[in-house]
Amino acid sequence: MERPAWAPPGIDISVPSVSRMYDFYLGGSHNFEVDREAARKAMEFIPGLPKIMQANRAFMRRAVRHAVDNDVTQFLDIGSGIPTFGNVHEVARAADPAARVVYVDHDPVAVAHSRAVLDGDEGAAVVAADLRKPSDILHSPEVTRLLDLERPVALLLVAVLHFLEDEDRPYEAVAELIDALAPGSLLVLTHASYEGIPLSEEQTDGTVGVYRNIRNPLVMRSGAEIGRFFEGTEMVEPGLVPMPRWRPESPVEEEDPYAFSGFAGVGRKA
């Protein structure tokens, strides 16, 4: 197996990674054949996976602009993945050049590629850490240097919580993060669900099985279960909705049916 020059030493390129699969769905080039194989297998069951990922990214960009419009110019993006066009720091700085961003991921390829993209950028950094250990993130040198936790921060958890099983204590992790943030901070979140996918649950389970086989279980939660992540915040209008319905900038009826899979929402800490 050919190891590309950009691949960090020491990573096992025989095991698929969810962030590299996500990169493949979005048309990126930082993925290996093993990732493409797993992604293609997942798409046999849910052919609209790329559309779902694009809807995630489009929501993220709208939510970032909403944050800046409301004077929140610090961003903590956990499970940030591999940088693609229109990333958080680009979108935020188009609205406010002074915006600061810390990306967090536990995939070595995502971290290495983020470091390369951000090289020489004083207002953005990447942390190699895991959402399951919030204190590692909050006390990292990068967060300490770049983010003032006494002022509002937008916490982005886009397409990441569905990779945490209940025994990983995802609700506790999110609560711990929100707890550390100043009043006025925002929780920006998307999550996979059986609700909204234009397929039967049986067919969707085929994709869930692919992720389980690569030891990255995809946990489908209901709208009510996803809503629990927002405890301690007040939902921003229009609440928890399918991704294209959150403050759309173009006619919702023109969206691909797959874009409505799962939920998106923004909560403000009182």
Average pLDDT estimate for 115-130: 95
Nearest one of 171, 188, 174 to 246, comparing CA atoms: 188
pLDDT band at 1 (very low <50, low <70, confident <90, very high): low
Round to whole Å and give the CA distance between 268 and 184: 6
pLDDT tens readout for residues 164-217:
999 999 999 999 999 999 999 999 999 999 999 999 999 999 999 999 999 999
pLDDT tens readout for residues 30-68:
899 999 999 999 999 999 999 999 999 999 999 999 999
Report the pLDDT value the prediction gives residue 113, as an integer from 0 to 100: 87
pLDDT tens readout for residues 71-94:
999 999 999 999 887 899 999 999
pTM of the entire predicted model: 0.95
In the chain the domains, ranked by start, together with CATH numbers, are 18-269 (3.40.50.150)
- Specify which residues 266 forms β-bridges with: 188
Q: Which amino acid is at 28?
A: G
Round to whole Å and give the CA distance between 181 and 17: 30
Report the pLDDT value the prediction gives residue 219, as an integer from 0 to 100: 97
The DSSP element (H or E) to which 188 belongs, if any, is strand 186-191
